[in-house]
Chains A and B, each alone.
Chain A
């Protein structure tokens, strides 16, 4: 079955450490996204990528970094510069026609806790 896999489901880190969240898709989608969700809130866009080797900052990119070396993979690194990293992180993909009519497909998220 095609889909998006995020791992791990739960992640714990000490403050000051960088951590990388994995996102892999086998849907052959061009566009991939990272969102952050805080309790009781909607989703906020961190980074998105429309094609391999290209990505753009979303609304809350500070303290995060990404890479897109392969079509299937879009890892997110939460750096020590991110002031409030504890959150639920969601990866998504879409066909990427840039027409606004391609539905998003989401993974089941990674819950990151930093203490």
Chain B
């Protein structure tokens, strides 16, 4: 099964950049890297996804290592509303299956 490894928790100061790491050493060449975030008692929210190239959207940037065994979600200026659990998961080619780990709990300090 495709699996990811993330730190249990991270802390950031408000208005500073945050880099959330993810290791996925067993990734195959066709697996997409997805990031979601979840607030307490809510469903996860899609943040960003990519395959090989770095990706940017209005919420965040995704930096993917050249060997694709790791990736980093970048929040350019953390706000208090960004405090959540962030999940890095792999979208497996030819299957509509997504595997979630325990995620990284991000705490943002004012």
Q: Which residues of A contact B (CB under 8 A)?
A: 4, 31, 33, 35, 40-45, 48, 50, 58, 88, 90, 92, 94, 96, 98-109, 111
- Having A41-B102, A100-B92, A101-B91, one finds 4 other A-B pairs with CB under 8 Å, namely A31-B96, A100-B95, A101-B49, A107-B43
For chain B, the count of residues having a C-beta within 8 Å of the partner chain is: 28
User: Which residues of chain B from 85 to 101 have a CB within 8 Å of any chain A CB?
Assistant: 87, 90-101
The 20 listed contacts between A and B (C-beta, < 8 Å) are A31-B96, A33-B98, A45-B97, A45-B98, A48-B97, A90-B43, A98-B95, A98-B96, A99-B30, A99-B91, A99-B93, A100-B32, A100-B91, A100-B93, A100-B94, A103-B34, A103-B46, A106-B45, A108-B41, A108-B43
How many Å lie between the Cα of A33 and that of B99 in the bound state?
12
Are A111 and B92 in contact, with the CB atoms below 8 A? Answer: no
Q: Which residues of B contact A (CB under 8 A)?
A: 30-32, 34, 36, 41-46, 49, 51, 87, 90-103
Are B96 and A109 in contact, with the CB atoms below 8 A? Answer: no
CB-nearest residue of chain A relative to B48? A103
The distance from the CB of A71 to the nearest CB of chain B, in whole angstroms, is: 14
Are A42 and B101 in contact, with the CB atoms below 8 A? Answer: yes
Contacts of B99 in A (CB 8 A): 45
How many Å lie between the Cα of A50 and that of B92 in the bound state?
14
